[in-house]
Structure 1
Amino acid sequence: MFKHSKLVSALAVAGVALFGAQAAQAQIVKIDGSSTVYPITEAVAEEFQKAKKNAIKVTVGISGTGGGFKKFCRDETDLSNASRPITKKEMEDCKAAGVEYIEMPVAFDALTVVINPKNTFLKEATVAELKALWEPAAQGKVMKWNQVNPAWPDAPVKLFGAGADSGTFEYFTEAIVGKAKSSRGDYTASEDDNVLVQGVSRDVNAIGYFGYAYYAENMNKLKALPIVPPKGGAAVAPSEQAVIKGTYQPLSRPIFVYVKAKSLQKPEVKEFVEFYMKNAAKLTKEVKYVPLPDNAYTGNLEHVKKNKIGTVFGGQNEVGITIEELMKREAKM
């Protein structure tokens, strides 16, 4: 009898524990995607979890924009971080899986080309010079700095850049080479920007690229390379002011989160999205990206309220769009 009652109470405790675990599991917001957007979403997730006293868990992965959209369109995540707009192929994949989404621009990034601080010869670069370094034709051939510009030294070039699943890879190749995903393959690639930071910081002959937040976090280890705008004129270094004025071209770009419409039916996701938009400007600035005007965030919440499904980009990445142009486009959605 004693044994039986102990067993019953043990099972009851296990049942409560299991029910508790299931309830806890139900309160998870799942996010994946861009490593560029990660610092903002992670900062929001931390603040949100604190505010909710960890009653809701938010997981944030970094499988790259493309990797994130694959999971999103397979219905595995609630939100997708993206450093470029959703593509036509991804739109089709989501449609086939019955996944509808709301596009939310959250900040502007100054995609940053970085060099080692001990590099004394590189003061600026043109788009043409960067293209000569990164285009597919350079693979196995352009191996030294002086092959790009005879004024540069006869020293080996070490290249570090985003992996193929990265939105940063797609944006950079389109802006610099002229075609998305068109790049030499003989470089150190990673979806984890911290790997690229380490690579460039350890080699005097290195050059790489990633989102501005990773440069801002590592200014003591890296030097940002000013870029001569495609239309000519003085080289412009990446900065908040240059992004706001639209002078840091062609590497200024909007970055996004995409929210699954179906997930918004879950109170924890809806709450997280509202918290995100109310705190995005402050936290975006904290992690060193450029916040959008306040009406961008209230507009995003309005789109949630009215269930405005889809994208204003039509499946195309666009190089050179300014904050002002983005805001006009979003207002028409």
Structure 2
Amino acid sequence: MVKRKKAKGIILASVAAILLLTSACGNKTDSGDKNQGAATTTPPSATAPASEAPKGETAKLKGEILVDGSSTVFPLTEAAAEEFGKEHPDVRVPVGVSGTGGGFKRFCAGEIAIADASRNIKDEEAAACADKGIEFTELSVAYDGLSVVINKDNDFIDYLTIEELNKIFVTESGVKTWKDVRNTWPDKEILMFSPGADSGTYDYFNEAVLDKKGIRNDKAIVFSEDDNTLVQGVAGSEFGIGYFGFAYYEENQDKLKVVPIDGGKGAVTPSYETIKDSSYSPLSRPLFIYANNAEMARPEVNEFLKYYINNIGAMAGEVGYVALPDEKYKEEAAKIK
């Protein structure tokens, strides 16, 4: 019907056109199936609920997916979130870096949908989740090699053994200078840089290197949850040493040297190959994300998790990590309900 037109001639012309159109529709119906009613001009989607897309179309995703946790896993999740956002621009995925422990605190309090983790969830953390009625799914996403780094100008360290690392970092260590570690090294004070106690990297180093004895906490060591702070600390200290994920070394190898580690079978330098085949031992490790099962019921969360697992293998190398075998990603994808 033509609206807001008051001229008589236009109205008559409109009525004539409608009658002509009705007549044509009637003839078409009569020539078709006689059991059908009169044809409708209402599109099928007009009567569907607003949240449902027309048949054959994909519903437009929108919403916010909160993620927090490991600074080591952060580059992986950030890469997945950025690429996912290109396909689903109405879904926001802010990613925090409060450390693995900090992420699990928020996750088990029901504050976030996904926790990034550079270690497995601890029993006490799982119990905290259970107390809040939070069920979760653990998903492996990539491998990482925890890397020990020194200043670019350090010309005396050729490798370190696990025993020597233990001597440097363990709680109540009596070591103060590099000469205390190896008597042929200079009598220069060691300055250490370590992730903080909320970091999964801290936990892993404490377990794999220090046999859970704990990392020293004195004026010779600086702690930070921000890996970039650790990079800057070692880069600015001629006799400094630190450790963090392989990706951060890769990103800053113009400022730092990586130290080959002898885990008992000779000194091995971290690389994509030695991390993947675990010959860089005991400092090769898997990385994870944890998803709240109730949050998986949200279409945007479910799609993001599927996208993450199906694509992160291809992204891993670009951000300094090692992809899992294809079969492992298939196993992880099958966990997503």
Does TM, normalized by the shorter one, top 0.5? yes
**Which amino acid in the other structure matches residue 209 of structure 1?**
Y
Picking from 226, 229, 232, the partner of 1:192 is 226
The structure 2 residue matched to 1:201, chosen from 230, 235, 250, is 235
CA displacement at 1:150 relative to structure 2: 0.7
Using the TM superposition, give the Cα deviation of residue 25 of structure 1 relative to its aligned residue in structure 2, in angstroms. 12
Percent identity over the alignment is: 45
Q: Does 1:176 align with 2:209?
A: yes
Q: CA deviation at 1:234?
A: 2.2
Question: Deviation above 4 Å: which 4+ runs of structure 1?
Answer: none
Gaps of 5+ in 2: 1-59
- Aligned pairs for 1:31-180 within 5 A: 31-52=67-88, 54-138=89-173, 141-179=174-212
Deviations 1:125-184 (A, max 9, x none): 00000000011121xx3221111111111001010011000000000011111016x110
- Partner Cα distance (1:178, 1:38) in 2: 26
1:223 to 223, 248, 257: 257
C-alpha displacement of 1:281: 0.3
Aligned-partner Cα distance in 2 for 1:101–1:298: 19
| Cα distance in 2 for residues equivalent to 1:294 and 1:57 | 28
2:65: which partner in 1? 29
TM-score normalised by the chain length of structure 1:
0.81
3-state DSSP of counterpart to 1:250: coil
Higher-Rg member (1/2):
2
Corresponding pairs, count: 276
Which of the two has greater helix per residue? 1
Aligned pair 1:255/2:280, yes or no? Answer: no
| Residue of structure 1 in register with 2:14 after alignment | none
Q: Is the 8 A contact 1:32 1:80 kept in 2?
A: yes
What root-mean-square deviation, in Å, do the aligned CA atoms of Structure 1 and Structure 2 show? 1.4
- Say if 1:280 and 1:297, in contact at 8 Å, map to a contact too: no
Tell me if 1:297 matches 2:333.
Answer: no
Paired with 1:27 and 1:165, the residues of 2 have a C-alpha distance of 29
Listed one character per residue, the Cα deviations across residues 232-265 of structure 1 (whole Å, up to 9, x for unaligned) are 2320000111112221011000010001100001
Structure with larger RCO (C-alpha < 8 A, sep 6+): 1
